[in-house]
Amino acid sequence: MKRICYVLKASFLAVALCILLTGMASAHTIAPQQSQGVAHTLRAHDTSVYIWATSVNVHTCASTTCELVGQISTTTVTDVCQAQGETVTAEGYTNNWWSQIVGPGGIRGWVSNIYIRGDAYIAGVPTC
């Protein structure tokens, strides 16, 4: 009888661990995104940031020479990740950090961190 109890306990723990790991994997992925030729997935740790300027250009990559996706103004967006790109000088600042964002209406692309409230490298936002 003890052996059956040990087997049941071990089986229960294995099933519980499997459910936990499966739940963690599926909770981590929210929605797919395509940018700069590399698939990226929005994750549970993506950070909300504030775009403080008006008519901020959103690009397909971390450079002003990349295709323009659209513009956004003074709004909160989801900052997926950040990477170093073209150095930009604007509004009295110079910075080469860019953030991959998802904004109102589903606009997706890259904006210079100059236009995001915070430091040159945005705290809490992972590097791409």
Please state the rounded mean pLDDT for residues 75-99.
96
36, 108 contact by CB (below 8 A): no
Q: What are phi and psi of 125, to 5 degrees?
A: -105, 125
Instruction: Give the predicted TM-score (pTM) of the model.
Output: 0.66
Q: What are phi and psi of 48, to 5 degrees?
A: -80, 130
> What are the domain boundaries of the chain?
31-115
Q: Which CATH class is domain 31-115?
A: mainly beta
Q: Each residue of 30-72: pLDDT tens digit? A: 333 334 433 344 454 679 999 999 999 999 999 999 999 999 9
Q: How confident is the model at residue 14 (pLDDT cuts 50, 70, 90)?
A: very low
Q: Each residue of 109-126: pLDDT tens digit? A: 999 999 999 999 999 999
- CA–CA separation, 93 vs 30, rounded Å? 34
- CA–CA separation, 87 vs 55, rounded Å? 19
Percent of the chain past pLDDT 70, that is, above it, reads 65
Tokens of 13: 């723990």
